[in-house]
Structure 1
Amino acid sequence: MQPLTLTIRSLGAAVCGVLLLLSATARADDIKAGDLVISQAWSRATPGGAKVGGGYLTIENKGSAPDRLVAVSGDIAGKIEIHEMAVTNGVMTMRPLEQGLAIEPGKTVTLAPGGYHLMMMELKSPLKQGDKLPLTLEFEKAGKVAVTLDVQAVGAKGPGGEGGSMMNMKKMPDHSGMKM
């Protein structure tokens, strides 16, 4: 009976080791820039001919001073803006944040479908599931930070196909093919 106990303990230790490795791997995708931690960078695939696409990510400010996302650039699009989308009285509005996006100390800001997002305009080619899109985020204090968006399926709700939209997307029209 004792060898079986050792085997179960060994198996338990191995499972714990694998779980620790997996959690370390998941955190390896986090990008640290000054007091900011950027994670879960993703996008949705676009239908052929689409000229716009969205980019999404999470920014956590672990510091004691605010920072601000002021610009985004990348070769995939002619122009990339930081946008806010909102629905008021049933009317959807989308606008660029001319002053950028504030990241307050101790707070996390999530760019997700239905809210804040990166609007990639004048796409040079369709975004395809599995693609990796390199972008450069520019912050007032943290400076320029290279990130890579993982392109998920058309209609994905989060990185890896997870849910996570801030609004009920069933009520929202799909604007991934709209031209600007």
Structure 2
Amino acid sequence: MGAALAHDFKAGELRIDHPYATPSVPGLKTGAVYFRTLRNPGVQADRLLSATTPVAARVEIHQMRMDGDVMRMRAVPALALPARSELQLRHGTPNGHHLMLFELKAPLQDGERFPLTLRFERAGEREVMVWVQTPRRPAPGHVHH
């Protein structure tokens, strides 16, 4: 069953492993997209510059960090993908990154899928399919406002 649920994508040398979103919180117009991993096995660095999706008005790359017991987020202009590196962008990972969806056109519901176009500095654009799934366990202090 796990292999049937796995979904990976390529963009040039880059490997995009299992893009997923968490169901949106009722009443909020924001959501978040994560990746099991973003891999750059190549010899040249790349950067994730932006993303777009038809399910939201805009998408921002966000950096998360723990400040005591509170998860803080801030937008960053790009996400560095060094050569021969692997980044985990998982829900609940402190001091990590995710893509923030703003002005959702409809709530993200468990089991749905939607397209997301990623734009990389070197690898160009790549559309991936994002699966909406409930995390196995909630992340403490991780609420999007």
* Common fold: TM-score over 0.5: yes
Task: Could you tell me which runs of 5 or more consecutive residues in structure 2 were left unpaired when the two chains were aligned.
Answer: none
Q: Which residue of 2 aligns with 1:125?
A: 106
Task: Could you tell me which runs of 5 or more consecutive residues in structure 1 were left unpaired when the two chains were aligned.
Answer: 1-21
Amino acid aligned to 1:135: L
Q: Which residue of 1 aligns with 2:131?
A: 150
Please report the RMSD computed on the Cα atoms of aligned residues, expressed in angstroms: 2.1
The CA distance in 1 between the partners of 2:31 and 2:71, in whole Å, is 17
Structure with bigger strand share is: 2
The CA distance in 2 between the partners of 1:63 and 1:75, in whole Å, is 30
Q: Which residue of 2 aligns with 1:51?
A: 29
Q: Which residue of 2 aligns with 1:85?
A: 64
Q: Could you say what secondary structure the match of 1:141 adopts? A: coil
Amino acid aligned to 1:34: G
1:173 CA drift (Å) = 4.5
1:111 CA drift (Å) = 1.4
The CA distance in 1 between the partners of 2:25 and 2:65, in whole Å, is 24
Is contact 1:111–1:118 with CA below 8 Å preserved after alignment? no
Amino acid aligned to 2:60: E
Percent of pairs identical after alignment? Answer: 36
Q: Which residue of 1 aligns with 2:13?
A: 35
Structure with bigger helix share is: 1
What TM-score, normalized by structure 2, do the two folds share? 0.87
1:174 CA drift (Å) = 2.5
1:62 CA drift (Å) = 1.0
Is contact 2:70–2:142 with CA below 8 Å preserved after alignment? no
Q: How many residues align?
A: 141
The structure number with the bigger radius of gyration is 1
